[in-house]
Every structure is written in C-alpha cells, then in structure tokens.
Structure 1
Amino acid sequence: MNFYSGVSTVCYVPVITFICNIKYTDSFYIGTQPITRAQVTGMITAVSKASNRTSIGVDDGTGVITCVYWLNNDDPIFKLGDVIQIIGKLTVFREQIQLTIENYQFVGFNDEILHWLRAADLMEIYSKPVVIKEQIKAALTEPDDDLRIIRDWIKLQHSFEFHQLLQDNSWGMSVATKRKHVKTLQEEGFIYLSNEERDEFTMVDASNLGRDIIEIVQRETMKSGSIGFDLIRYYLKPEFKNVGFKQMNKILDELVRSDQITQISQNKYKAF
C-alpha cells in the first residue's frame, strides 16, 4: 500500500460498509482509509456452484458484490432471497471486486436496516483525512538502535524480569529509557506481561500464543467445524491482542506444518 497502513485503525479489520463505498485502485479503500476486509449485509440475488466453491451475489441496495465460499467438508445452502451478513477478505477477480467469505450468518430485515444505520454513521469516520504525525513517520522509517538492542537481548532470554534488564549497564540507557522500550515492545505484541507481581515479561511465540490459538481452534471446530483468521484474533487472550498480523500468520504456519491444526482454505482453520 502507498500508505502507512500500520497506523490505520481500520486497515485489517472488517469495516461495516455499503457495497458502493468499497473502492479499488492500487489497493482497497473506503473514504480515505485503506482496508483489506469488509462486512456487508444484503439479499442473495444469485447462486453459482462449482466443484470447490460456491459464489453468491449479494445486493445491499447500493450495489451487488460477488462473495465466494470455498468448500471444505461443509456445503452451506445459500438460497435466493435470503438476507445474509458476510465478513470477508477483499479480492479482485477479472477486474471485479469480490469478497472471500470468512464468516457469515443469515439475518432478518431488521438486521439489514441496523447495518445501514451503522454503515452511514461510520462513513463519517472513514471519510476523515488521514493525518500521520511526524514522530510516527520517523518511528516507521528510522529504527531505534536502543529498541533493537533490547529486542535482541529479549530474544536470547525469552522470559525476563525487568530488574534483570536493569542489571546490564553496558548500553548506557537510563531506567526510564529501558522501561519505555519494554512498553513499546509490549504494545507491539512482541512481549507480554506474564507475571505482574514479579514484573516479568515473556516473548510471544508458538509456545504461548500458539497454545492459545490451538485451544481456540479446537473449541470452535467442535462448535462450528472451523474458524476464520479474524475470529481467532477476536478470541485471543488479552495479553495477545496486540500481536501483529505478520507474527500471527507465522505462528499459524508453524502450527499447520507441525499438524497441530489444519488450514482448510485461505485464512480458515480447523483441528481434529
């Protein structure tokens, strides 16, 4: 994206929107905001089946969008005239915007009206100019050497108490600087506070975040057969809420390679 998407509050979440407001140039946008996922609600006006997918046309009164459901062991029944709410990843196929279905539910006309009201209200937010402060730009383009040093030190420790970080005086950093950088790494989702009483932090990796993901996927597989990427993030424990998408995908790939979970389609998982 030609934008600092990392500081956008809506870039990676499903935006509640009218179909007509989804735009595509080099990336997907709603108003001035870059987006990758959307939530739409409308009536099913077309159904087309193939051997590995079902495509449906959804009309919300402002436009029609093709939504694709990749088949696994399930084959949901989509009927003409049903009102459906869909969360999915935006893609382009043959120069047409599409939505790869990650989650869906059949709803009533009252839910469709509620979606309209929320989409209209949120459009005011999406239309505001994006302002990136100079210090944020600098942080995105100029790596902090002190922060890199502490990050590398943590990789060697994996878990540490803050007083252990203070004992290393070779870096010439103040206590305040070290505390600031630990907080930054916590906000980035690189570490989490594993024991508040001891002021102990632990690096986020497959041994902790992976365990939480496995429990979520196993639980949701028993309930509904599978779970999408966004719902996995939604159900994560609070200490993992700041973990970035790149790190999440890396750990999910590790879990799939080790056969602890199975990827059944793009961004959708299950456990046996």
Structure 2
Amino acid sequence: MQNTRVKLLASDFLTLTPYSLSSSSDPTMFFRKGKQITRIETVGVVVSRERKGDRYLKFIIDDGTGCISCILWLNQLNSTYFARRNPSDVRLIADMAQDYATSIQLGVLARVRGRVTGFRGVLQITVDDVFLERDPNAEILHWLNCVNLARNFYDVPTVRPPLRRPIQHFHNNNNNNNATTTNNKKTFENLK
C-alpha cells in the first residue's frame, strides 16, 4: 500500500503506528496492521481553519468517526524545496495551492488527498490536492468504500506466493515419454 492513496476513515487514520528512524525526529513511516501507508484519501466536513499568511493553511476534517488535521503549504515560491524545479511548474503549484486555500471554508464537504506526516506528536495529512464535494452522499459513499476496502484488502494478511520449482529438463528418452503419456491419460480419466 506504499505510494498508493489508501482510503481511510479518521478512526483508522488515528490508529496508524508511527515509526521514526531516529529518536529525536518526527515519525517518517506509518503502519496499519503491519502495512506501510504513505498516502491517503479522506472525505469530511471542514470544522476548523487557520491560515498563517502566505506560509500555510491548517484545517481539520471531520468525517463522523474522528478529526484529521491537514496542512496545505502555501510557500512554494519562497521554499528551497522547490528551488531546483522549473519556475513555471512552481508557479503552477503555488497557484493551485492558493486556489485550494480559498475554497477550503468552514462547513464545506471536501475530499482531501495527501501524504501521511507527523508533527510534534500529531498525525496529519500534508495536502496534495483538495476537491469540494457537491453531492452530500459523497461522505457516505466514502465510508462504504473504506469499509469494503478494509475488509477485502487492507486488513487481509499479506500472503507471499510460494517459491517456484525450477523447471526440470526432459531427456529425449522414450521410456520417460511413455510413462508421462500414461500418467496424463490416467489423470484425464479421473477428471471425467
């Protein structure tokens, strides 16, 4: 489930187990039932919104099972992280982030997709994109998708396929060919 957008309810998101490579830093990896999760998608109502100038917008999504903290970065034009990228691409990313920031208002139903991160002991989504949902049933459909995916995929233990046997080379020997043909006929007869 790594690098796949996993659809999660807030109650499942809040149970992710953080793992840090060093003891002094915020977690860098997150696991759910032994499977690493890096990106998620969730749907809920915006219940809190706090903007810090042109640096970031922090908001909270409530899907009825809990609340997820989300952060949308708005400092792409000043960030050293984007310094090596093409300036026109950075401008496009910055414009999209500004559009997302203006559309995220209290009470709107939003679909949020992004990376799972941690900051000061709090799980959060670092937002990649936001879509405003116009259909009020979108949240319920998201719930159903999450439950179905959890039952059929996310909570299923990983089963590794058995190792393949090496292919045996057949000798051009009539005795082996006759024995194989006889065994195949017997097997075919048993299947009837």
**TM-score, normalised relative to structure 2:** 0.62
- Match of residue 59 from structure 2: 56
- Match of residue 120 from structure 1: 147
1:83 alignment partner AA: L
- After superposition, the Cα gap between the structure-2 partners of 1:134 and 1:25, relative to the gap in structure 1 and judged at 3 Å, is farther
- Match of residue 40 from structure 2: 38
Aligned: 1:20 with 2:11 = yes
**CA deviation map 1:67-115 (0-9, x unaligned):** 1111134252221111100110000001111101101101132111110
In structure 1, stretches of 5+ residues that fail to align are 1-9, 137-272
Q: 1:95 aligns with which of 121, 137, 140?
A: 121
Q: Report the structure, 1 or 2, having the larger helix content.
A: 1
User: How far, CA to CA, are the matches of 1:122 and 1:32 in structure 2?
Assistant: 16
How many matched pairs?
A: 127
Aligned: 1:80 with 2:83 = no
Aligned 8 A contact 1:31 1:123 in 2: no
Q: 1:65 aligns with which of 62, 65, 68?
A: 68
Large movers: runs of 4+ above 6 Å: none
Q: Secondary structure at the match of 1:25?
A: strand
Aligned: 1:130 with 2:158 = yes
**CA deviation map 1:207-253 (0-9, x unaligned):** xxxxxxxxxxxxxxxxxxxxxxxxxxxxxxxxxxxxxxxxxxxxxxx
User: How far, CA to CA, are the matches of 1:132 and 1:88 in structure 2?
Assistant: 29
- Cα RMSD (Å) of the superposition? 1.7
**Percent of pairs identical after alignment?**
28
In structure 2, stretches of 5+ residues that fail to align are 20-28, 75-93, 165-192
**CA deviation map 1:4-54 (0-9, x unaligned):** xxxxxx211110111111212313123442110000000001000013110
- Match of residue 239 from structure 1: none
Decide which moves more: 37-46 or 22-31. Answer: 22-31
How far 1:135 moved relative to its partner? 4.3
User: How far, CA to CA, are the matches of 1:110 and 1:50 in structure 2?
Assistant: 32
User: How far, CA to CA, are the matches of 1:30 and 1:112 in structure 2?
Assistant: 22
Q: Report 1 or 2 for greater relative contact order, CA contacts < 8 Å, sequence distance ≥ 6.
A: 2
